[in-house]
Structure 1
Amino acid sequence: MAVDDKHISYRIYLVAVFIFLMAIAIVVKLTNIQWVEGDYYRKLAKQRTVRNFVIPANKGNIYSADGSLLATSIPNYEIRFDAKAPKTETFEKYVKQLSDSLETVLDRPSGYYEKELRKARANKNRYYLIARNLSYTEYVKIKGFPLFNLGAFKGGIIVEQETVRKHPIGKIAERTIGYDRIDPATGVEVGKGIEWAFKNYLNGKDGKILKQKIAKGQWKPIRDVNEVDPIDGYDVISTIDVFIQDIAHHALLKQLEDYEADHGCVVVMETQTGHVKAISNLGRAEDGSYYETTNYAIAESQEPGSTFKLVDLMAILEDKVADTSKVYDSQGGVVKYYGKSVRDSHHGGYGKVSLARGFELSSNTVMVQAVYENYKNNPSKFVNHIKSWGLNKTLGLHFKGEGRPYIPQPGDKHWSGTTLPWMAFGYNVSVTPMQTLAFYNSVANDGVMVKPQFVSEIKEWNKTIKKFDVEVINPRVCSPETLKKVRAVLQNVVKKGTGSKLYSKDFSMAGKTGTAQVNYGGKEGKSALYYASSFVGYFPADHPKYSCIVVVHKPNTARNNYYGADVAGPVFKRIAQKIFTDAPSTNKIKQLDSKIAKQEVSYEKYEKEANKKLSQIPDLKGMPGMDAIALLENLGLKVKVNGMGKVKNQSIQAGTSISKNTTIVLELS
């Protein structure tokens, strides 16, 4: 028995020692947690229950040149209710008033809201949804309702805010206005257009708000004020004119629909400044409708066709190797180089014509002969002209994705015997519509090539933060003599050349048609051959204010009408016509001070009669009606008038004594 008791005592001692050691370990661990690793665990606990949330700053607005809103940030608000926050007496005091107030703004009766609020209170719901997608005005109104006006802690109101980007003019110019966002699938920043290019100005600086984690993984603001208030972005003033943009968009859309084309673009630019007043890029959807897709005007670099012939003419005239009057034989509409044929679109050619006439008729054979004859021994001289005009490099626009031009160089692996003649009618080279427009605009702008601009300034309210001045790419693309001849020929293209269908006696235009075969080589992996129709030029021809390019890809050839003058030209004409017939006149009235003899005689007669101290009715016959009325009313008479013009008869004869307030009737011729 004694031995058993002894064993039991050992066990008790062993358990006691174990418990003692455990206690020591616990004390050590607690001490370690409290004093050694305390800061780490306190920080970890805080991170899991208290966190800073980003408050996105409101983006700046994008405005058109005429002050219309193109893009803006609209705040959306969500109101929730922490039903545990208010004290019982406070809740009971204001719940009915709050319910009545909610009925005035939201779409449910007061009884519904009182029932739901009490239910949330009973269930200790700390995140009950009151309303979402509220405007700022609605949010401010609800925030001022009874109970909610006591704030987050006493009134239980929880406010969530998000910002939504809206384009008030809809899909028009959407690709140019653009977007800047994070792709939710990849987490990569993506963007297009002005929104992306000027994001550093538009985005502003985000704020921060501290929130605490509550039940069901929900987060509630800790205090009414933000940790860091967001700073709104600056406003961007674009060069887009909504009036011209609307004209350009619908003119292009109509033509794409009529010709069932694949896609197209149009750009209208202010000649002297390079300000892009309108840009539209429309592609065809599967259902046949058209919408803003790729920014073709900036991104699509392709062989331009005959619009490139301006390069030929300007180079030849600058080098004085031929004049516009030099005659070339179109040789029946076919010339051959290294076994390959260059053909005119007109079967049989144009006979013998001058260089100027060949350009006006867009003769491939004439322009190719002119270039090849003068540059075959030194093609670098011709190519160097192209390089001096900047057509071998991008324009350096703010937008990403600008298409890169391609101009072959003598000695390159792709250079061959046919390269130079093919370049002469717009093949073996590649440029974007915007690059072509900049070149033609230099002709309209007295030889000064300017960079296309989409934004004129950055503003904070009425304060200008940054202004974008006119940027000159090339101060003189050619001599004044060359410029004069080139402008005359471009005007004749519309008057009596390939663009003659566009001619109007009401407003002058100048430009060049173009019809290019795309994928004429039938390269594997690409679509079959199709046509791209274009027209580029400026208006008015004598004093250019706007330049414009129109490109339409893959018009339906079933109509056997795919030429630039027929497909793209009408869009150009429609834009010019609408601008000059619908826009308010800004012409100044000249010679305001010049005198008109008949008016002077009439005025002298009135002055003579008016200055008399009359006691009798004067002879008014032949006096303008308005003068007669003024004269008689100054004499104290009442006047009635029949007809318009000059006084023919008067009811009271001349010489009759004047009697105040007497009525006299005048009959006007």
Structure 2
Amino acid sequence: MAVDDKHISYRIYLVAVFIFVMAIAIVVKLTNIQWVEGNYYRKLAKQRTVRNFVIPANKGNIYSADGSLLATSIPNYEIRFDSKAPKEENFEKYIKPLSDSLAVIFDRPSGYYQNELRRARNNKNRYYLIARKLSYTDYVRVKGFPLFNLGAFKGGIIVEQETVRKHPIGKIAERTIGYDRIDPVTGVEVGKGIEWAFKSYLNGKDGKILKQKIAKGQWKPIRDLNEVDPIDGYDVISTIDVFIQDIAHHALLKQLQDYEADHGCVVVMETETGHIKAISNLGRQEDGSYTETINYAVAESHEPGSTFKLVDLMAILEDKVADTSTVYDSNGGVIKYYGRAVRDSHTGGYGKISLARGFELSSNTVMVQAVYDNYKNNPTKFVNHIRSFGLDKPLGLHFKGEGRPIIPHPGDKIWSGISLPWMAFGYSVSVTPMQTLAFYNSVANNGVMVRPQFVSEIKEWNKTIKKFDTEVINPRICSPETLKKVRAVLGNVVKKGTASKLYSKDFPMAGKTGTAMVNYNKAGREGMYYASSFVGYFPADHPKYSCIVVVHKPNTAMNNYYGADVAGPVFKRIAQKIFTDAPSTNKIKRLDLKITKQENSYNKFDVESNKKPKLIPNLKGMPGMDAIALLENLGLKVKVNGVGKVKKQSLQAGESISKNATIVLELS
């Protein structure tokens, strides 16, 4: 019996020691958690229940050169309700007036909202959805409703904001204004436009707001104020002119549709400044429609064909190895180099003609002979001219995805015996339409080559942050003597050359046609197609604008794919529409002269108009851009949703205008 008692005592001691050790371990662990690792666990707990969320800054607007809105950020708001936040007395006191207010703005019965809000409170719903996609004006109204005006903690209102980018003029120039796109074939990001290139100015700085986790992965703001307020981005003033852009876009679109072409581009540039006034890039979709896809004018480098012959003429005249009057035999329209034939588009050739006439008629045989005969012993000299013209390197535009030119050089792997003659009529080389335009623009600009420019200014409201001045790439692309001859020949191309169908005695234009066979590899299918182009400037005597049009893969079943017939009419329509439709400007002398009768009449009107209160006008049916201009002149801030004409306005017609008030327009 004593032995059994002794064994029991040992067991009790053993258990006691074990419990004591466990207690010590627990105390040690708790001490470690509390004091040694306490900061870590407190930080971890806070991260899981309280977190900083980013408040995206509003992007700056993008404006056209004439002040039209091209891209803007529209804030959308989502309102939710934390039904557990309000005290019972406040909830019961304000539920009916809150429901009445919600019923008015969202067009539902007050009883519906009373039932929904009570159900949310009974279910302890801390994230009940009130409304989505509210405009700023509606958000402010809802925030001021009974109960909600007590704030997040007392009133239970939860506000979520997102920013949506809108293009008020629709798809026109959307590719240049900017959006993100991955080329489906190459997987490469293709030129993102102004939005991407100037994002450091447009994006602003994001803010922060502290939120607490409530339930089911939902978060609500801890306080009404932000931890860090977002700073809006600057506005970007582009060089685009909406009037010219509209003309260029629709002229190109019509021609693509008429010729069932695969894609095309058009660019209009102001001669002296290099400002791009219009750019359109349209590609055919599977349903036969055309839309802005790839920035072909900037990104697509390909063999230009006959528009490259200006390089031949300018190099030859600069080196004085031949003159415009030098005669060449077109050899029946066929001439061979290393067993490969160079042919004229005109069967039988043109007989014996001058170099100038060969250029005007775009004779391949004449231009190739002129280059090959004079540079075959020193092809590097000819290639160096191309480099001096700046055609061997990208223009250095702000846009991502600018196409890279290809200019063979003696000694390169791609150089061969036919490289020189083939380069003479625009093959074995590759340049972008924008490069070709910059080169021709230098002829129009008295020999000064300027960099194409898409943005003129960065602004914060009316304050200029940065100006972009005209950049000169080459101050003298050739001698004045060469320039004079080249301009005369380019004028004759339209008067009596391949582009004679474009000639108008009342409106002189100058330029060069081009028709090239282009290799393509689309969706794994290789082949050849025609690319028709025209590049030049207008008016020919005093150039104001230069322009290039390129149409890829016109339907050859129509038996017409030449640059003069496919691309030329687009150029002509743009040139003539700009100068016939644009409002005329008359110079008025003695602007400082005051007429007493007019001054008295104006002062009387000014006094009378100031007596009357300013009222909100009825804007329904008015074009969006006109409405914006009218409202801003009245001192109002304007927010726009959609494109087209005004169908709804947040401030009703006849209301008095409050200082710094904001009006929201919904466009059809």
Q: Compute the TM-score of the two structures, normalised by the length of structure 1.
A: 0.85
Give the structure 2 partner of residue 651 of structure 1: none
**What is residue 581 of structure 1 aligned with on the other side?**
580
What's the counterpart of residue 346 of structure 2?
A: 346
Aligned to 1:271: 271
Partner of 1:550: 549
Paired amino acid for 2:432: T
Secondary structure of the corresponding residue to residue 163 of structure 1: strand
**Residue pairs, 1:167-182, within 5 angstroms:** 167-179=167-179
Q: Are residues 1:568 and 2:567 paired?
A: yes
Shift of 1:524: 13
Distance 1:163 1:501 in 2: 50
* Pair 1:532 & 2:531 matched: yes
Shift of 1:36: 1.1
Tell me by how many angstroms 1:4 deviates. Answer: 3.7
Specify whether residues 536 and 241 from structure 1 end up closer, same or farther in structure 2 by C-alpha distance, changes over 3 A only: same
Aligned to 2:73: 73
Q: Which residue of 2 aligns with 1:48?
A: 48
Aligned equivalents of 1:469, 1:337: Cα separation in 2? 47
Q: Give the Cα–Cα distance (whole angstroms) in 1 for the partners of residues 162 and 533 of structure 2.
A: 45
Match of 1:220 in 2: 220
Give the aligned partner of residue 473 of structure 2: 473
Letter in 2 for 1:574: R
Q: In the alignment, does 2:236 pair up with 1:236?
A: yes
Distance 1:413 1:194 in 2: 37
1:590–1:569: structure 2 CA closer, same or farther, 3 Å change rule?
farther
Aligned to 2:74, the other structure's residue is in SS state: strand
Other-structure match for 2:152: 152
* Aligned mates of 1:379, 1:509 — CA distance in 2: 33
Does the CA contact (< 8 Å) of 1:448 and 1:476 recur in 2?
Answer: yes
Which residue of 2 is the match for residue 100 of structure 1? 100
The offset of 1:19, in angstroms, is 2.2
Q: Is 1:254 matched with 2:254?
A: yes
Does structure 2 conserve the Cα–Cα contact (< 8 Å) formed by 1:256 and 1:263? yes
| Deviation string, structure 1 residues 522-558 (Cα, Å, up to 9, x no partner) | 9996522211000000000011010000000110001
Query: Deviation string for 1:472-519 (max 9, x for gaps)?
Result: 000011111111111111111111110011111231110000000113
- CA distance, structure 1, for counterparts of residue 394 and residue 377 of structure 2: 29
| 1:61 Cα offset (Å) | 0.8
Residue aligning to 2:31: 31
Deviation at 1:560, TM superposition (A): 0.9
Q: Check conservation: 1:519, 1:526, Cα contact below 8 A.
A: no
Change (3 A) 1:203 1:124: same
How much has 1:410 moved relative to structure 2?
1.6
With CA pairs under 8 Å and 6+ residues apart, which has the higher RCO, 1 or 2?
2
State the distance in 2 between where 1:319 and 1:516 align: 27
- Confirm whether residue 517 of structure 1 aligns to residue 534 of structure 2: no
Q: Distance in 2 between matches of 1:523 and 1:132?
A: 42
Which letter maps to 1:146? P
Following superposition, the deviation at residue 32 of structure 1 comes to: 1.2
Find the aligned partners of 1:256 and 1:211 in 2 and give their Cα distance: 53
Give CA-to-partner distance per residue, 1:218-238, whole Å, 9 cap, x none.
111111101111111111111
CA 1:173–1:86 in 2, change beyond 3 Å: closer, same or farther? same
Rate the CA distance shift 1:401–1:191 in 2: closer, same or farther, 3 A: closer
Question: What's the offset of the Cα at 1:182?
Answer: 11
**Mapped partners of 2:369, 2:262: distance in 1:** 34
**Which residue pairs with 1:123 in the alignment?**
123
C-alpha separation between the residues in 1 aligned to 2:181 and 2:4?
81
Q: Which amino acid aligns with 1:380?
A: T
SS of residue paired to 2:477: coil
Q: 1:259 to 1:357 in 2, by over 3 A?
A: same
Task: Measure how far apart 1:20 and its partner are.
Answer: 2.3
| Residue aligning to 1:622 | none
State the alpha-carbon separation in 2 of the partners of residues 431 and 47 from structure 1.
Answer: 55
CA contact (8 A) 2:312 2:367 kept: yes
Q: Deviations over 1:352-385 (max 9, x none)?
A: 1111111111111111111112111111111111
In the TM superposition, what whole-angstrom CA distance separates every residue of 1:60-108 from its partner, at most 9, and x where no partner exists? 1111111111111111101111111111111111110000001111132
Q: Is the 8 A contact 1:515 1:531 kept in 2?
A: yes
| Superposed displacement of residue 591, structure 1 | 12
Alignment of 1:616-655 (within 5 A): none
| 1:424 match | 424
1:171 deviation in Å? Answer: 1.4
Letter in 2 for 1:209: I
1 CA distance for matches of 2:349 and 2:191? 49
For residue 287 of structure 1, what is the aligned residue in structure 2? 287
Change (3 A) 1:471 1:490: same
Give 1:8 shift.
Answer: 3.4
1-side partners of 2:110 and 2:174: how far apart? Answer: 43
Distance 1:102 1:314, change over 3 A: same
Pair 529,56 (structure 1): closer, same or farther in 2 beyond 3 Å? same
- In structure 2, what is the Cα distance between the partners aligned to 1:347 and 1:519? 24
Residue by residue over 1:617-659, the C-alpha shift from the partner in whole angstroms, topping out at 9 and shown as x without a partner, is: xxxxxxxxxxxxxxxxxxxxxxxxxxxxxxxxxxxxxxxxxxx
**Counterpart residue identity of residue 166, structure 2:** K
Q: Considering only aligned residues, what root-mean-square deviation do their CA atoms show, in Å?
A: 2.0
CA contact (8 A) 1:393 1:405 kept: yes
Structure 2 CA distance for aligned equivalents of residues 15 and 529 of structure 1? 92
The residue type paired with residue 579 of structure 1 is I
Q: What is residue 134 of structure 2 aligned with on the other side?
A: 134
Q: Is the 8 A contact 1:180 1:199 kept in 2?
A: no
SS of equivalent to 2:208: strand
- 2:437, 2:567 → 1: CA distance? 14
Distance 2:153 2:250 in 1: 55
How far did 1:190 drift?
8.9
TM-score (norm 2): 0.85
Distance of 1:524 and 1:313 partners within structure 2: 38
Instruction: Tell me by how many angstroms 1:16 deviates.
Output: 2.6
1:29-60 residue CA offsets vs partner (Å, 9 max, x unmatched)? 11111111111111110011111111111111
> Residue 401 of structure 1: CA displacement?
0.9
Structure 2 match to 1:359: 359
Aligned to 2:201: 201
Q: Go from structure 1 to structure 2 and tell me whether the alpha carbon gap of 1:590 and 1:155 turns closer, same or farther (over 3 Å shift).
A: closer
Q: Which amino acid aligns with 1:161?
A: Q
State the 1:344 CA deviation: 0.5
Tell me how far apart the structure 2 counterparts of residues 235 and 266 of structure 1 sit (CA, whole Å): 26
Shift of the 61–276 alpha-carbon distance from structure 1 to 2, 3 Å rule, reads same
Listed one character per residue, the Cα deviations across residues 185-215 of structure 1 (whole Å, up to 9, x for unaligned) are: xxx9997111111111111111111111112
Gaps of 5+ in 1: 593-669
Residue 498 of structure 1 is matched in structure 2 by 498
Question: What SS is found at the alignment partner of 1:249?
Answer: helix
CA apart distance, 1:9: 3.5
**Local SS of the residue matching 1:529:** strand
Query: In the alignment, is the contact (CA less than 8 A) between 1:394 and 1:402 conserved in 2?
Result: yes
CA offset at residue 179 of structure 1? 2.4
Q: Distance in 1 between matches of 2:106 and 2:429?
A: 63
C-alpha distance in structure 1 between counterparts of 2:441 and 2:125, whole Å:
67
Residues 94/284 of structure 1: CA separation in 2 closer, same or farther (3 Å cut): same
Aligned-pair identity in percent equals 89
Return the letter of the residue paired with 1:344: D
Deviates more, 1:490-499 or 1:6-15: 6-15
The answer on whether the counterparts of 1:261 and 1:555 sit within 8 Å (CA) in structure 2 is: yes
Q: Is the 8 A contact 1:303 1:431 kept in 2?
A: yes
- 1:630 counterpart residue number: none
Residue 349 of structure 1, CA deviation: 0.7
Q: Compared with structure 1, are the counterparts of its residues 403 and 587 closer, same or farther at alpha carbon in structure 2 (3 Å cutoff)? A: farther
Q: Secondary structure at the match of 2:527?
A: coil
Q: Which has the larger radius of gyration?
A: 1
Q: Give the match for residue 324 of structure 1.
A: 324
User: Matched residues in 2 for 1:365 and 1:524: separation?
Assistant: 35
How far is 1:2 from its partner? 4.2
CA shift in 2, pair 1:258/1:524, >3 Å: closer
Aligned length: 587
